[in-house]
């Protein structure tokens, strides 16, 4: 079952949680909310988010401690979103294991850009570790050689076709909006050009799908984006 990229938001202010959910949902993300550190840790354990947005000033367990404990559970990007703007707090945030630090108030475009950039860096780190992707018994993507094999035949991919396919495979069964694909393959300045993604999805389907008119690997979720469905 496909799902959107999942973001866990931990903040003790309901109004802030609601605002962040509106911003992130509009950008194509799935959002899970938690009102304090302990519930945020439980959510991270049970829901396996792809990224975490975290406040610092919370009762009981502050964000620094939550971040340190999160790092025992996951390597996904963690971004502090907080009103604490002192350099000492920023340094402490990165020392606790955060990937980025955003001070309130912020512009919603900056939040989405920083989040997608953190996700892109995370994918790139994983790609350095992962040389070959086996999405199905009949398909192999060699990330080191940039070679795709489908049903025993080698398929030539242009550099950007390779990047789009690798991104979708790495996030298999997770719906990626056109803006998310644009920001991670072509950089954020291309956001807002969905026809570019549509063109590359069409080209990839012509190359890998048994029937491009009825795609079994690269699926469309109308109004939301695309996802990769691994075969058997």
pTM for the whole structure: 0.62
| N residues, the chain | 232
What is the structure's pLDDT at 129?
55
Average pLDDT per consecutive 10 residues, the chain (232 residues; last block may be shorter): 80 95 92 93 89 93 92 88 93 92 92 90 67 71 83 88 90 85 77 88 94 93 89 66
What is the structure's pLDDT at 73?
80
What domain count does the chain have?
2
**Considering Cα of 79, then 80, then 86, then 90, what sign does the dihedral take?**
negative
Do residues 52 and 145 share a domain?
no
Residues 6 or more apart whose CB falls under 8 angstroms from that of 95 comprise none
What is the structure's pLDDT at 22?
95
Task: Name residue 148's beta-bridge partners.
Answer: 141, 155
In the listed set 123, 146, 179, which residue is the last one of a domain according to the structure? 123
Do residues 115 and 154 share a domain?
no
In the listed set 73, 91, 123, which residue is the last one of a domain according to the structure? 123
Q: Is residue 208 classed as helix, strand or coil in its secondary structure?
A: helix
Structure tokens at 52: 């975490």
Do residues 102 and 169 share a domain?
no
Containing domain of residue 115, as a range?
Answer: 3-123
Residues 68-116 have pLDDT tens digits of 989 878 889 999 999 999 999 999 999 999 999 999 999 999 999 999 8
Residues 6 or more apart whose CB falls under 8 angstroms from that of 106 comprise 81
| Closest CA relative to residue 127, chosen from 165, 182, 158 | 165
What is the structure's pLDDT at 131?
62
Query: Which CATH number is 107's domain given?
Result: 3.40.50.2300
What is the structure's pLDDT at 41?
92
In the listed set 98, 123, 148, which residue is the last one of a domain according to the structure? 123
Do residues 142 and 107 share a domain?
no
What is the structure's pLDDT at 164?
93
Do residues 115 and 14 share a domain?
yes
Query: Which CATH number is 184's domain given?
Result: 1.10.10.10
């Amino acid at each position: 079952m496909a799902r959107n990229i999942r973001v866990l938001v931990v903040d003790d202010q309901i109004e802030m949680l609601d605002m962040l959910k509106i911003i992130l949902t509009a950008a194509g993300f799935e959002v899970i909310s938690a009102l304090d550190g302990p519930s945020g840790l439980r959510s991270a354990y049970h829901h396996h988010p792809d990224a975490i947005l975290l406040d610092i000033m919370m009762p009981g367990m502050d964000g620094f401690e939550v971040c340190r404990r999160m790092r025992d559970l996951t390597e996904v990007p963690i971004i502090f979103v907080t009103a604490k703007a002192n350099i000492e707090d920023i340094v402490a945030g990165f020392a606790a294991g955060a990937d980025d630090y955003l001070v309130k108030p912020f512009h919603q475009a900056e939040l989405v850009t920083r989040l997608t950039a953190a996700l892109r860096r995370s994918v790139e780190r994983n790609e350095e570790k992962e040389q070959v992707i086996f999405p199905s018994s009949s398909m192999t993507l060699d990330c080191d050689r940039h070679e795709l094999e489908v049903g025993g035949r080698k398929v030539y991919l242009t550099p950007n076709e390779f990047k789009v396919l690798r991104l979708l495979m790495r996030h298999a069964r997770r719906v990626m909006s056109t803006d998310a694909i644009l920001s991670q393959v072509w950089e954020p300045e291309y956001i807002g050009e969905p026809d570019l993604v549509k063109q590359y999805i069409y080209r990839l389907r012509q190359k890998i799908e048994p029937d491009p008119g009825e795609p079994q690997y690269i699926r469309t979720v109308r109004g939301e984006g695309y996802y990769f469905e691994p075969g058997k």
